[in-house]
Amino acid sequence: MYDDSDGPGAAAERLTGRTTRDERPLSGAPAEVVLDDGRTVMVKRADGLEEARAEAAGLRWLAGAGTVRVPIVYGQDGHWLVTDQIARGRPSREAALDLGRALAGMHLAGAPAFGSAPPGGPRDAYIGRAPMRNVEGTEWPEWYAEQRVLPYLRSAVDEGTIAAGEAPVIERLCARLPDLAGPAESPARLHGDLWNGNVLWGADGHAWLIDPAAHGGHRETDLAMLHLFGCPHLDEVLRGYEQVAPLADGWSDRIGLHQLFPLLVHAVLFGRGYAEQALSTAKAALER
């Protein structure tokens, strides 16, 4: 039985079965805890009851692809999650090339459906601090519109971040998605929140993925998010990706479609600047 009132050290002891020697708080919610066997683990306390369970299930699902590097999950209960701590290094072109190949393999590992949650993961999950529902669908354009774009558009309008008169441009884009989405693809196993901050360049010379919002989706969505916020040596990531799983023709023209989801999430979380970017992205996509 978990104790939600304890601290990081006690949570680490309970979930690893080891005694703690040291505890160091980090910026934000996580803490580093040194165990009696010399390992350092990351201990996070999530805000939502399902947030830690979603992250633990996502990490295990991505690891199950056998291609990408993710921290080991030592345990999760209630609000607490304990994972391996990855020593930080610097990005390199070699690590980026390897990351691209690994991402392609992860995507090819597939998912049961668009919107499927990782095994053991909750239907009501999170992307960052925003709620994200994992509702399954069979056709990507319809699922993406109904389960990823429109819920955040409605939230942004309700909060006044996007004016009601501005919303139709995004609604029109959703209606046209079947014509704009490119060739149909099978559901991919997505990280789901793949911005550069969730790519950790390790001291071991490899790239590691952290903090997933994992679900079944379109593989171009992960790559579009890497484009949205930038990624060191992105050209090498894409080169490695194409070596394993070449992208469909015209995929670069569809980047804006896939960026609409994270832009609207950021509009809900952080305000008008991202709303304006979402609106301009939708307008540009409609003009193609």
Can you tell me the distance from the alpha carbon of 62 to that of 209, in angstroms, rounded to the nearest whole number? 9
Which residues, 6 or more positions from 5, have their beta carbon under 8 angstroms from its beta carbon?
none
Q: What is the phi-psi region of residue 45: left when phi exceeds 0, alpha when psi lies from -120 to 50, beta otherwise?
A: beta
pLDDT at 254 over 70: yes
To the query of whether residue 193 is one of the catalytic residues in this protein, the response is: yes
Query: 3-state class of 288 per DSSP?
Result: coil
Of the residues 84, 98, 193, 235, only one is catalytic, namely 193
Q: 50-94 pLDDT, tens per residue?
A: 899 999 999 999 999 999 999 999 999 888 999 999 999 999 999
| % residues pLDDT > 70 (the chain) | 97
Quote helix, strand, coil % in the chain, to nearest 5: 45, 20, 35
Please determine, for residue 182, whether its predicted confidence score (pLDDT) is greater than 80.
Answer: yes
> Which residue do the tokens 């080891």 mark?
18
pLDDT tens digits, one per residue of 88-124 = 999 999 999 999 999 999 999 999 999 999 999 999 9
Go through the domains of the chain in sequence order and give each one's CATH number.
8-84 (3.30.200.20), 93-286 (3.90.1200.10)
Distance CA 90, CA 88 (A): 7
Q: Is it the case that residue 28 has pLDDT exceeding 70?
A: no
CA angle, 262 as apex, 260 and 265 as ends, to 5°? 105
pTM of the model: 0.94
What residue type is 135 in one-letter code? V
